[in-house]
A = this chain, B = another copy of it.
Amino acid sequence: MAQELVLGIDIGGQTTKCGVVDARGAVLAQTVIRSDTYDNVEPYIAELADALNRIIKEAGAEGRIRGIGVGAPNGNYYTGTIENAVNLTWGGSNTIEFAKLLSKAMKGIPVSLTNDANAAAMGEMTYGAAKGMKNFIMITLGTGVGSGIVIDGKIVYGHDGFAGELGHVAAVRHNGRPCNCGKTGCLETYCSATGVARTAREWLQLSDEPSLLRGIENISSKDVYDAAKEGDKLALKIFDFTGRMLGECFADFVAFSAPEAIVLFGGLARSKEFLREPIEKSMNANLLPLWKNKVKIVFSQLKESDAAILGASALAWEL
């Protein structure tokens, strides 16, 4: 019998990445479609199904697809729905029965859906840095800060399917930065890619310390990384501050679920050479004695271009 395969789909605000994946995590065929050209989910699903059928054919995978895994903003694993996804042009303010619609368009192939950070955690556990781990926390450091929590080998979904919003714990309890969620002081206002850029802009205003970052318009976290590479002191201090804040919050996460490791993924995690030391130092300083120097900080090993597809595809093996 031919080897079973799965489809992985990562839905982002602008683009949707899809791939045919085998059990070892090899992406046999992949493609990208736009997510943002429809106001309505039906024509989007139709185009997505066309794309999927194309890559199934390309990979010679007809009749061998065991299931489809989808990572999507606000995806609810329990219900297979996407709820209030304001970043999706067709997401709007209603509840979309996405898994059901896609399964129908794909002639009954079962579909499993979760949010992007949970999908990343599944990918890491199935093919990546967390292979063999039963207890770890995935933190995605991108435009925002997302998380996927694994306990006893399973993603934590909680009572309503939305557990694992660690980007919105209070890194700063009072007078913190305002967050898009309506609260203040959330971890993601400081430690996401946009948070790092925000720190840079704030600190440039607060001092007249010379820095390579001065004069750059619309500073991004990449600019801060490039400056740090050049040895820029302010840029290095920004990473130190960011890492320390992550480490402090990670210590609280460890007190919750006692994980073997915290796995970091996403654009900002590429700055690991500047983040690892302050994270480890401040996490250990804030851990109970029983955990000091025992919890690993691990950076994702998945090829960045494949990671989103792999994460979503990992869900499908459970179907």
Contact = CB atoms under 8 A, between A and B. Distances in A.
B172 A286 contact: no
Contact of A172 (B173, B181, B258): B173
A253 interface: yes
Contacts of A157: 258
Contact of A156 (B151, B172, B290): B151
Contacts of A291: 160, 162
Interface of A is mostly: loop
A286 B170 contact: yes
Interface in A273-308: 286, 288-291, 294
Interface residues of A, number: 41
Contacts of A256: 149, 156, 163-164, 166, 169, 253, 256-257
A255 B169 contact: yes
Interface string A145-183: 000010110101111111111101110110000000111
Contacts of A259: 158-159
Contacts of A152: 154
Contacts of A173: 172-173, 248
Nearest to A83: B290
Interface of A: 134-135, 149, 151-152, 154, 156-166, 168-170, 172-173, 181-183, 248, 251-253, 255-260, 286, 288-291, 294
Given A169-B255, A183-B286, 5 more contacts: A163-B257, A164-B258, A165-B288, A168-B288, A173-B173
| A-B complex: 3 closest residue pairs judged by Cβ atoms | A158-B258, A163-B258, A135-B159
